Amino acid sequence: MEFTLESPLDMHVHVREGAMLERVTPLTADHFAGAIIMPNLVPPVDNLERLLWYRDQINAAKGDATFDPLMMLFFRNYSREELEAAREHIFGIKLYPAGATTNSEAGVKELSAAEDTFALMEEMGIPLMVHGETHGFVMDREKEFLTSYAYLAEKFPKLRITMEHITTKDAVDLLDQFENLHATVTLHHLIITLNDVAGGLLNPHLFCKPIAKRPEDQEALLATALKAHPKLMFGSDSAPHPVSKKECCGCAAGLFTAPVCLPTLVELFEKHDALDNLQNFVSGNAQRIHGYTPPKTTVTLEKTGMEVPARYGDVVPYRAGETIPWAVTNVQN
Give catalytic residue positions: 237
CA distances from 49 to 18, 19, 60, 71, 89 (A): 17, 21, 17, 12, 11
Helix H or strand E segment including 106: none
Residue 74 · residue 111 · CB < 8 Å = no
Backbone φ and ψ for 87, nearest 5 degrees, come out as -50, -45
Work out whether strand 298-302 and strand 181-185 pair parallel, antiparallel, or are unpaired. Answer: unpaired
Work out whether strand 9-13 and strand 34-37 pair parallel, antiparallel, or are unpaired. Answer: parallel
Please say whether the dihedral angle defined by the alpha carbons of residues 191, 194, 195 and 201, taken in this order, is positive or negative: positive
The two counts, helices (H) then strands (E), for the chain are 12, 13
C-alpha 238, offset from chain centre: 7
Q: What is the rounded CA–CA span in Å between residue 255 and residue 317?
A: 7
DSSP state of 76: S
